[in-house]
Amino acid sequence: MKIVTLVFILLSLNLKAETFREKLRAKIAEKLAAREMKKDPPIVTDAVGIKINKPGSFIFKLKIDSIDRFYKVYIPTKFNFSKKTPVIFAFHGGGGDMNQMSEDKNYNLISKAEELEIPIIFPNGYSVFPTGRIATWNAGQCCGDARDKKIDDIKFIKEVFFEVKKQIDLEENSIFAIGMSNGAMISYRLACEAPEIFKKIMAVAGTDNTINCIPKMPVSILHIHAKDDDHVLFLGGHGKAFSDKRIEKVTEFTSVASTIERWSKYNKCSGKKTRVLDTKDAYCDFYDDCNDSTKIKLCVTSTGGHSWPGSGKNKSSNAISANTLMWQFFSEIK
């Protein structure tokens, strides 16, 4: 009887401690939100629709459904303005923003832009804050305020594309979407709803959580995921990294296998796959017998958690490099 009583007391203390921690976290979050609301919005560099004629970072604003939305354009130092160019749209994860995604120490994307000598576009998700920080994308079943308020992110991203077309001479068959986590999910939604623009995507640590996806044409897919991802679980569902309150802002994520199976069906692939990489730390499977010469490539790391492989950040795996695989995939497929 004494042991049962002791266990009950310990459980009660633990519950009280957890309740206290939740209240403390809520109070801190409330204070941070109040502070964020007082900050200024991003400084707009130029008006949209004007030709960009020099290297550097440029921030633009669009009014979409009465909401101010932002995007950043990065033009590499040695960019050739005299010819049409491929372009990469890079989508941040849930809780991130365009500045966080373009910070080179996080994803090395500015370095990649310099290496490839092509521009990268960093759209900003929906945020309740004037700064645009702590933003999310409405990718269907996920995520956050963007999903809950039914923000039309596809409309926003298409408008960004139309403006970028005026700003840079684009090679229109080479418009690529890449994304991390919730950014990967919006990339999948773009493959569903804007395949005429985005013919190839790379999704890192985020699966297809669209609703009623009926793509008008096949899209080539590169999917990268860690087996030990503790947010978007490899086998489906959400991980323990989400607190009880944060779970309300996500979903029971589609598994990696279901995502690949879904897109194999959409692309009418034969189901045949070739293992093109096989090490103790990573493997890659290639599906190349699909309609309209589209391809699907799945690369899986043993470790790395919820991160961008090769970035050197957040215990990311070094078995593969997402940025290297990205350009190999995009450039090799016609």
Give the whole-angstrom CA distance, residue 273 versus residue 266: 16
Give the whole-angstrom CA distance, residue 311 versus residue 147: 28
Give the whole-angstrom CA distance, residue 268 versus residue 282: 26
Residues 164 and 50 sit within 8 Å (Cβ to Cβ): no
Helix, strand, or coil (residue 156): helix
**What DSSP state is assigned to residue 172?**
E
Q: What is the pLDDT of residues 37-60, one digit of tens each?
A: 778 788 888 778 789 999 999 999
Question: How do the domains of the chain map onto residue ranges?
Answer: 1-38, 56-332
Mean pLDDT, all residues of the chain: 91
Between β-strands 282-287 and 296-301, what pairing exists: parallel, antiparallel or unpaired?
antiparallel
Q: What is the pLDDT of residues 225-240, one digit of tens each?
A: 999 999 999 999 999 8
Mean local confidence (pLDDT), 127-145: 97
Longest alpha-carbon distance in the chain: 84
Q: Per the CATH hierarchy, to which homologous superfamily does domain 56-332 belong?
A: Alpha/Beta hydrolase fold, catalytic domain (3.40.50.1820)
Strand order in the sheet with 120-123: 56-64, 67-75, 120-123, 85-91, 170-180, 200-204, 220-226, 296-301, 282-287, 274-278
Helix (H) or strand (E) holding 170: strand 170-180
| Residue 11 confidence (pLDDT) | 47
